[in-house]
Chain A
Amino acid sequence: NAGVMQNPRHLVRRRGQEARLRCSPMKGHSHVYWYRQLPEEGLKFMVYLQKENIIDESGMPKERFSAEFPKEGPSILRIQQVVRGDSAAYFCASSPPTAPGGYEQYFGPGTRLTVT
Chain B
Amino acid sequence: GQNIDQPTEMTATEGAIVQINCTYQTSGFNGLFWYQQHAGEAPTFLSYNVLDGLEEKGRFSSFLSRSKGYSYLLLKELQMKDSASYLCAVIRGSTLGRLYFGRGTQLTVWP
Tell me, yes or no, whether B111 is within 8 Å of chain A by CB: no
Which residues in A have their C-beta under 8 angstroms from that of B98? 33, 45, 48, 56, 59, 102
Q: Which of B48, B102, B103 is the one whose CB lies under 8 Å from A103?
A: B48
Complex CA distance for A4 and B48, rounded to whole angstroms: 20
Tell me, yes or no, whether A109 is within 8 Å of chain B by CB: yes
Q: How large is the interface on A (under 10, 10 to 19, 20 to 34, 35 or more residues)?
A: 20 to 34
Could you tell me the distance in whole angstroms from the C-beta of B44 to the nearest C-beta in chain A? 7
Chain A 57-112 residues near chain B, CB threshold 8 A: 58-59, 91, 100-110
Are A107 and B31 touching (Cβ within 8 A)? no
Chain A interface (Cβ < 8 Å from any Cβ of B): 3-4, 31, 33, 35, 40-45, 48, 55-56, 58-59, 91, 100-110
Please report whether the interface of chain A is mostly helix, strand, loop or mixed according to DSSP.
loop
Could you tell me the distance in whole angstroms from the C-beta of B39 to the nearest C-beta in chain A? 11
What are the interface flags for B13-42 relative to A under an 8 Å C-beta threshold, 1 for contact and 0 otherwise?
000000000000000000100010000111
Tell me, yes or no, whether B43 is within 8 Å of chain A by CB: yes
Which residues in A have their C-beta under 8 angstroms from that of B101? 35, 42-44
Q: How large is the interface on B (under 10, 10 to 19, 20 to 34, 35 or more residues)?
A: 20 to 34
Tell me, yes or no, whether B109 is within 8 Å of chain A by CB: no
Complex CA distance for A59 and B44, rounded to whole angstroms: 22
Could you tell me the distance in whole angstroms from the C-beta of A2 to the nearest C-beta in chain B? 13
Complex CA distance for A91 and B44, rounded to whole angstroms: 12
Q: Which of B40, B96, B102 is the one whose CB lies under 8 Å from A102?
A: B96
Which among A4, A31, A40, A45 has the greatest number of chain B C-beta atoms within 10 A? A45
Could you tell me the distance in whole angstroms from the C-beta of A58 to the nearest C-beta in chain B? 8
Closest to B104 in A: A42
Are A31 and B97 touching (Cβ within 8 A)? yes
Complex CA distance for A45 and B102, rounded to whole angstroms: 12
Tell me, yes or no, whether B87 is within 8 Å of chain A by CB: yes
Closest to A59 in B: B98
Which residues in A have their C-beta under 8 angstroms from that of B41? 109-110
Q: A103-B48, A110-B42 are in contact. Are A45 and B96 (CB under 8 A)?
A: no
